[in-house]
Amino acid sequence: MSDTPDPALPPSLRFLKALVITLMITLIGGVIAMVFVLVTRLPGATTLPHLPASLALPAGTKAQAVTFGPGWVGVVTADGRFLLFRDSGGPPVQEVPLNLAANLPAGG
């Protein structure tokens, strides 16, 4: 008497085994494809905007936030102003006063 099982599987189990092997190969291929896409696309995905070399902030102002747009740079100052500059630098093109206290909720 032999203790080894019969290697012949029923047809339904052979089909299930083939499906599991196909799924395993598909998952391995998908992981390899995802790693390839991440390695090739992510290093160049983040390009920083160009900050002009000469933004002339008015005397005594301190920049609190900077934002960029096509052809312009905006600076929010600590004293509550929004200064709009051309992308080429130089003095501000426009100055907008910000009334932040009127927009804050009560108690905060």
53 & 96 share domain:
yes
54 & 43 share domain:
no
Measured CA to CA, the distance from residue 48 to residue 46 in angstroms comes to: 6
73 & 35 share domain:
no
How are beta strands 63-69 and 81-86 bridged, if at all? unpaired
pLDDT (tens digit per residue) in 50-86: 777 778 888 888 989 888 888 889 999 988 899 999 8
Q: Supply the DSSP symbol for 87.
A: T
- Into how many domains does the chain fold? 2
Kindly report the pTM of this predicted structure: 0.51
54 & 95 share domain:
yes
In which domain, by residue range, is 79 found?
49-100
59 & 95 share domain:
yes
pLDDT (tens digit per residue) in 3-38: 666 578 888 899 999 999 999 999 999 999 999 998
